Amino acid sequence: MLTAGDVMNKNVIYAELPGRRENVLELFKKYGISAVPVVKDGRLAGIITRKDILRKVEEDQIALLMTPEPVTVKVDEPLKKVVEILVSTPFRRLPVLDGDRLAGIITVRDIVAKIAEMGIDKPVKDYVTPKAVCVWDETPLNIVGEIMRISNSELCPVLNSSAELCGIVDEKIMLTETLIEDFIEQTHYSSSSDTDDAWTWDSIRDFTVKYFEVSVVKLPKEPVRNYMRDAAHVYPHTSVSKCAREMVRKDIDHMPVLDAENRLAGLVHDKDLIKVLLE
């Protein structure tokens, strides 16, 4: 039976107390991550995400930014139990403890990577969400941001003028550490100003949640095709493990699914895909 310890990442990137916001942002940027556990004297004290920083832009101390006492699992926790927690909560990562010490961290991506190795032949069609909000490749990026905000979309497939899938745009493209830093600087600078910036876009969502959080960042008005990523895809009969391998290889959390005529049929969400381990 697989356990959290079999799947977790043992090389945990973490922040320490006491510490400052800039230390966490440096970790986010250096390692391409969106959250880190916070430890004190080797013991887990909390967890801090991009969302925490965006919600409290006037705060600088990690101790006041982090979420204390996060949900955790033990190193010998059955993987099925970990999946149950992840699919029933907004969480995308769980600290893993050995006793009261931080031993690792397990993420939805870690579980998808394990599924990729398991040779599960079940077709992915049972995990397809048939609804997807699409955008035209000429749509300005700031308008795409508004579309994602209004529709609560974590990812939008991008279609060309022939209605063919030509790319994807997600929150990793929308929200970078540079934008976070710019937003913090702008907020501090303009906190006493009554003027509005015509380039600002309020309420961009952190991609650990399913709705947009309060924030203001600047998005360019250039076409989304200049920023979109290559369009990976699978078909309804593609196996679960093959789909998982493609998600890991392309570094995406949602996989577009095409029908027999190569038209977009929906998306496979990573949190839906890991439900295969509950069956």
pLDDT, tens digit, 9 for 90 and up, residues 33-92: 878 999 998 889 999 987 787 777 778 899 998 989 889 999 999 999 999 999 999 888
Task: With H, G, I as helix, E, B as strand and everything else as coil, classify residue 276.
Answer: helix
pTM of the shown model: 0.78
- Cis upstream peptide for 220 (omega within 30°): no
Q: How far is CA 12 from CA 167, 246, 267, in A?
A: 32, 24, 30
Among 66, 68, 32, which Cα is nearest to 178's?
32
DSSP per residue over 203-217, as a string? -PPPTTSSSPPS-EE
Output the pLDDT for position 176: 57
> Cα separation of 125 and 240, whole Å?
9
pLDDT of residue 173: 72
Decide: 79 and 277 in contact? Cβ < 8 Å. Answer: yes
Question: Which portions of the chain are predicted below pLDDT 70?
Answer: 174-218
CA atoms of 15 and 38, how far apart (whole Å): 5
Q: For the chain, list the domains and their CATH numbers.
A: 4-117 (3.10.580.10), 124-278 (3.10.580.10)
Two tokens at 153? 């979309």
Please count the other Cβ atoms lying within 10 Å of the Cβ belonging to residue 203: 15
d(CA 15, CA 6): 24
pLDDT value, residue 39: 92
- Contacts of residue 30, defined as CB under 8 A and 6 or more positions apart, other chains included, come to none
Rounded to whole angstroms, how far apart are CA atoms 67 and 61?
12
Retrieve residue 99's tokens: 């006793």
Predicted confidence at residue 179, as pLDDT, reads 57
Q: What is the pLDDT of residue 186?
A: 58
